[in-house]
Structure 1
Amino acid sequence: MNHPSVSVRETIRAKLKQIWGYDDFRSPQGEIVQCLLEQRDALIIMPTGGGKSLCFQLPALMQAGLTIIVSPLVALMENQVQELRQRRLPAALLHSEVSKQQRRQTLWALENQSLRLLYLSPETLLSEAVWERLCQPDLKINGLILDEAHCLVQWGDTFRPAYYRLGVVRPALLKCKPEGTKIAIAAFTATANPDAQQTIQRVLQLQQPEVFRLNPYRANLHLNVQVVWTPRQRRQQMLKFIQAQLGQAGLVYVRTRRDSETLAEWLSQQGFQTAAYHAGLSADERRQLEKAWLGGTMHFVICTCAFGMGIDKPNVRWVVHFHSPLLLSEYVQEVGRAGRDGKPATALTLISETTGWLDPEDKQRRQFFVEQAQKQQRSAQALSHKLPTQGDVASVSRQFKDGVIALSLLNSTGHLEWSDPFHYVMKPGNVDRRGQSNTQAAKQMTEYLKTRDCRWRFLLGAFGFESDALSLRCGHCDNCRH
């Protein structure tokens, strides 16, 4: 890596002090900022609460021109932009829930080049109104940041297919810009195993990226997995755990909207002030719940994975997984909400006994996940014989139900390539099954829940930090204590 001169380092630190009030960076924040200022591609893996957002916000504010941040969730965008605006910094966001007036104001600011940071979902980035403006030759774009990049791997080939088109955004934009223009791409995440890292680099078409990796180990976070034998016992064990944490901030994670509502109602009947949080709530309802939880008037919420990503509440003391996540990356993200202030925190996961005879929910949920993935693959395979050898997303979307998802699945298995964010070309020949499918990744989650080894050592090994795992002496997960 090129080492910045003393004067450049001093300028960067002075800007850090001016905006955030910090005297210096935590390693490797300074190196990441320098990398992005030099407009080099990067892949950054840092633990939850490691200060990732500062790493791309600071270089964006130090340069003339626009930095685009692609972010998966409305709450995540709104929290970051609100914080930046409170500091009177030129940042804005666009998503499906933004009012028409706010949308007009943001598009006007984009056209007039008065923004430094623009937060968008992948879908909004590729919408006609936004794309048209980004392609204006005189709009200077410095970088494309993918925040929470693990979402590309988890959601990109099915749930959020726009993610798999992000790799052709840079070459498409460069065609519209003056010769010699450079646009850097950086992907940030707290969780990416070696397979996920390869997928991110391949899909985004990163060019000789600088890779920054910190392992996810948190010495203050105590990991526990507890077997329950019946649905009733699952509720009772959770109740017992929450009662022992009275007055402390926490989160209860479930997997579906219906589960969150049912469990919230039951806990309310037990005398707790809580509520369900999921993607089906209105924007106002979600903001009210976030405000109540962040402000401490509601100590915990029953939530799906739609909650918590990027929300900064340092004093969360506990996280319960009433249902275990399907993927290890989801698990590390969600337990990582706890103990961000460095003080002791506990994560408890409740699981059915192995056979699933008495409490079949976990087994049924995993089976449903596998069957859905297989069904989507079969559907995409069948559609591949009906599609023209080259075409566009809009036409396929109009002609075929779930056609866009099928395109993304065909892309992920090497059946087609994107010629730009809106057009594809089918590829003849054998299928190239690259990377690790989510079905295989789900098996790794099951192995973690059943392991008798140190849980933190298992996690470090799973995310590619084998040497760190060998030297780790945890002592504070349930397996080590026992």
Structure 2
Amino acid sequence: MTADQLQQVAKERFGWDRLRDEQLRAMEALMAGRDALAVLPTGAGKSAIYQVPAPLLPGPTIVVSPLLALQQDQIASLTARHHESLVAVRLSSAEGKSEREEALEALRAGDAEFVFLTPEQFADPARVKQIKALKPSLIAVDEAHCVSAWGHDFRPDYLQLGQFIRELGRPPVVALTATASPPVREDIVERLGMRDPEVVVTGLDRSNLYLESVHCPDEETRYRRLVARIRESAPPGIVYAPTRRATEELAERLTKEGIEAVAYHGGMSAGERERAHEAFLADEVPVMVATTAFGMGIDKPNIRWVNHVSLPDSPDSYLQEIGRAGRDGQPAHVLLLHRTEDSGLRKFFTNVSVDRDEVASLAALLRAAGEPLTRDELEERTGLGERKLGQLLALLEEVGGARMLHGGKVKAPRWAPTPAKAAELAEAQAERQQTVSRSRLDMMRGFAETGQCRGRTLLAYFGEHLDTTCGHCDNCTDGSAAAGLAAAEDAPFPVHSEVRHGEWGKGMVMSYAGEQMTVLFEQVGYKTLSVPVVKQHRLLRKA
């Protein structure tokens, strides 16, 4: 299928006058039977990448999405097209048995093209069997960063996806996300078993977002700057705080100041979160004070600002969170109010220790079972919580001590290392992940403190390169950003070239700023090096 034919389908069935080049690249790969990974900003038409080719392929399209509310929005969008080839159904806990049967019958009869699933559905062997019988022609994995333990919103249920895809006979797979740095992209490709995918990473520079960062010497200064900014900004907006307690205290304090605000965090009941969410979406509440729990599925186009009152844990999280502003294309402002003490708090959160005895016991349990065990069985026998168990299973899978099967079951591979060796390897892998996590925090702090162009600095982290300054950050406005442009002209290695360090191993050059260069090393994460020192001592060589 040619680009012109895909454009025609997009026009006739969706009313879109044109498709972007990056959308077409991914679509053409899928039509040719290849996989695709698309990292595009919110509002850039990621869903179109599977929606346009889907009716042109012989079987139904499976769409994996983590949130029911998000699925409902996508189904409503397809239904609004009023085209018989774009009928969508859902199989989830929200539907009754008769509704699920009707949905399956519509898929079998060819009366429905799209079926939306949450990852939890893969735990049911009967459901997997039903989906396999439909002979799907395409699998779309939305919010694909959730599959990566390196990502900012890792979901253990996503670990089953690779096996699920194999069970279905390996139709073409398209993974979609708005945020994925190079380590996360590699993890997505590996965990989903993608084969030579067409990787599209573009458009992450949101020119309508004005980026600003301010260092605050103490907490009271930070609070006063926040209040002043909210008073001078048009609503609605989001304030991101680091903890549940900080969220509640800040919402209460703002309300006492005469600024109507509500709190939102994962510790609230589902009903409380739903009421806060709906009130904000309906413009009944001008300010939402939230932890990162207020995330996926927040599709509100008129958010005019996003303010952070603490350093985010990584540029991954930061880009995702500020991306909720200005989705209507109109100007929006994002402000980062940071203190030196923020790094200590974030390092505390990322300090995840692995208990060797716990890992060894889990590995031994899998080896002794003789048959695959479900997650529920493992939780009951080990006493581990769902998230902790998911983390340890992810580590064991990476070191060959566990294998995910269909239906959410887990077993020890035939040639698995001994429990003691598996625990040793898992501990080393966890330490590596923690090292990379801390390097991402260092990159976030570097973004907050830089005098260079913030747009270029942020995009370089994600593997994108701007030839000029972004023109929409505080450093561009005051003229300090222009000084960093000349540095790349005398660079020892081109941006995105592969290099090797004697101690840190293989890496990729991500960016230059002044006399500094940032390199992403596979083993130790992001490192900022002095260009003159690199040249003088020949610290790097071409890989």
Unaligned runs of 5+ in 1: 175-181, 357-361
Q: Which amino acid aligns with 1:448?
A: F
* Structure-2 change in CA distance of 1:298 and 1:21 (3 Å): farther
Q: Which amino acid aligns with 1:261?
A: E
Match of 2:348 in 1: 368
Contact 2:212 2:335 in 1 (8 A): yes
CA distance in structure 1 between the partners assigned to 2:469 and 2:252 by the alignment: 41
Measure how far apart 1:414 and its partner are: 4.4
Is the counterpart of residue 409 in structure 1 residue 409 in structure 2?
no
Measure how far apart 1:296 and its partner are: 3.1
Is the counterpart of residue 77 in structure 1 residue 68 in structure 2?
no
Q: Which amino acid aligns with 1:336?
A: G
CA distance in structure 2 between the partners assigned to 1:464 and 1:391 by the alignment: 43
Q: Percent identity?
A: 35
* Structure-2 change in CA distance of 1:61 and 1:424 (3 Å): same
Structure 1 residue matching 2:239: 3-state secondary structure? strand
Contact 2:145 2:154 in 1 (8 A): no
Q: How many residues end up aligned between the 2 structures?
A: 455
Q: Which amino acid aligns with 1:369?
A: F
Match of 2:42 in 1: 48
Contact 2:43 2:327 in 1 (8 A): yes
CA distance in structure 1 between the partners assigned to 2:294 and 2:364 by the alignment: 39
* Structure-2 change in CA distance of 1:307 and 1:404 (3 Å): closer
* Structure-2 change in CA distance of 1:316 and 1:140 (3 Å): same
Contact 1:226 1:351 in 2 (8 A): yes
Measure how far apart 1:212 and its partner are: 1.4
Deviations 1:338-388 (A, max 9, x none): 223333221111222x2x3xxxxx3453233233x2246774355334541
Is the counterpart of residue 140 in structure 1 residue 135 in structure 2?
yes
Match of 2:540 in 1: none
Is the counterpart of residue 347 in structure 1 residue 334 in structure 2?
yes
Q: Which residue, out of 16, 28, 45, partners 2:10? A: 16
Q: Which amino acid aligns with 1:473?
A: T
Contact 2:122 2:128 in 1 (8 A): yes
Match of 2:163 in 1: 168
Q: Which residue, out of 302, 305, 319, partners 2:289? A: 302
* Structure-2 change in CA distance of 1:309 and 1:141 (3 Å): same
Larger-gyration structure (1/2): 2
CA distance in structure 1 between the partners assigned to 2:104 and 2:360 by the alignment: 39
Match of 2:483 in 1: none
Contact 1:156 1:164 in 2 (8 A): no
CA distance in structure 2 between the partners assigned to 1:234 and 1:36 by the alignment: 49
Contact 1:397 1:404 in 2 (8 A): no
Q: Which amino acid aligns with 1:202?
A: E
Match of 2:225 in 1: 237
Q: Which amino acid aligns with 1:416?
A: A
Structure 1 residue matching 2:346: 3-state secondary structure? helix
Is the counterpart of residue 383 in structure 1 residue 362 in structure 2?
yes
Q: How does 1:275-294 map to 2 (within 5 A)?
A: 275-279=262-266, 286=273, 288-294=275-281
Contact 2:63 2:114 in 1 (8 A): yes
Q: How does 1:171-320 map to 2 (within 5 A)?
A: 171-174=166-169, 183-246=171-234, 248-279=235-266, 286=273, 288-320=275-307
Higher relative contact order (CA 8 A, sep 6+): 1
Measure how far apart 1:167 and its partner are: 1.4
Deviations 1:291-340 (A, max 9, x none): 44344333332233333434433332211112332121111111111223
Give the alignment's TM-score, normalised by structure 2. 0.75
Deviations 1:388-418 (A, max 9, x none): 1764241433311234442122113444343
CA distance in structure 2 between the partners assigned to 1:192 and 1:86 by the alignment: 30
Contact 1:93 1:106 in 2 (8 A): yes
Contact 1:274 1:301 in 2 (8 A): yes
Measure how far apart 1:238 and its partner are: 1.4
Measure how far apart 1:244 and its partner are: 0.8
* Structure-2 change in CA distance of 1:476 and 1:87 (3 Å): closer
The worse-fitting range, judged by mean Cα deviation, of 113-122 and 35-44 is: 113-122
Q: Which amino acid aligns with 1:140?
A: K
Q: Which residue, out of 397, 405, 410, partners 2:379? A: 397
CA distance in structure 2 between the partners assigned to 1:363 and 1:156 by the alignment: 19
* Structure-2 change in CA distance of 1:293 and 1:101 (3 Å): farther
Q: Which amino acid aligns with 1:443?
A: D
* Structure-2 change in CA distance of 1:74 and 1:303 (3 Å): farther
CA distance in structure 2 between the partners assigned to 1:128 and 1:157 by the alignment: 29
Contact 2:455 2:472 in 1 (8 A): no
Structure 2 residue matching 1:81: 3-state secondary structure? helix
Match of 1:472 in 2: 468
Contact 2:27 2:49 in 1 (8 A): yes
Match of 2:112 in 1: 115
Measure how far apart 1:185 and its partner are: 1.0
Unaligned runs of 5+ in 2: 479-543
Deviations 1:73-103 (A, max 9, x none): 3332222222223334421334445566655
Deviations 1:29-67 (A, max 9, x none): 223223223331111111222111111122223334221
Q: Which amino acid aligns with 2:201?
A: R
The worse-fitting range, judged by mean Cα deviation, of 396-405 and 206-215 is: 396-405
Structure 1 residue matching 2:446: 3-state secondary structure? helix
Contact 1:159 1:405 in 2 (8 A): no
CA distance in structure 2 between the partners assigned to 1:377 and 1:68 by the alignment: 39
Contact 2:366 2:411 in 1 (8 A): no
Structure 2 residue matching 1:145: 3-state secondary structure? strand
Q: Which amino acid aligns with 1:153?
A: S
Q: Which amino acid aligns with 1:459?
A: L
Measure how far apart 1:118 and its partner are: 2.0
The worse-fitting range, judged by mean Cα deviation, of 147-156 and 340-349 is: 147-156
* Structure-2 change in CA distance of 1:451 and 1:94 (3 Å): farther
Structure 2 residue matching 1:118: 3-state secondary structure? strand
Structure 1 residue matching 2:231: 3-state secondary structure? helix
Structure 2 residue matching 1:208: 3-state secondary structure? coil
CA distance in structure 1 between the partners assigned to 2:441 and 2:357 by the alignment: 19
Is the counterpart of residue 448 in structure 1 residue 447 in structure 2?
yes
Measure how far apart 1:440 and its partner are: 4.0
Measure how far apart 1:287 and its partner are: 5.1
CA distance in structure 2 between the partners assigned to 1:18 and 1:253 by the alignment: 41
Is the counterpart of residue 153 in structure 1 residue 132 in structure 2?
no
Structure 1 residue matching 2:18: 3-state secondary structure? coil
Measure how far apart 1:286 and its partner are: 4.8
Give the alignment's TM-score, normalised by structure 1. 0.83
Measure how far apart 1:242 and its partner are: 0.7
CA distance in structure 2 between the partners assigned to 1:378 and 1:243 by the alignment: 53
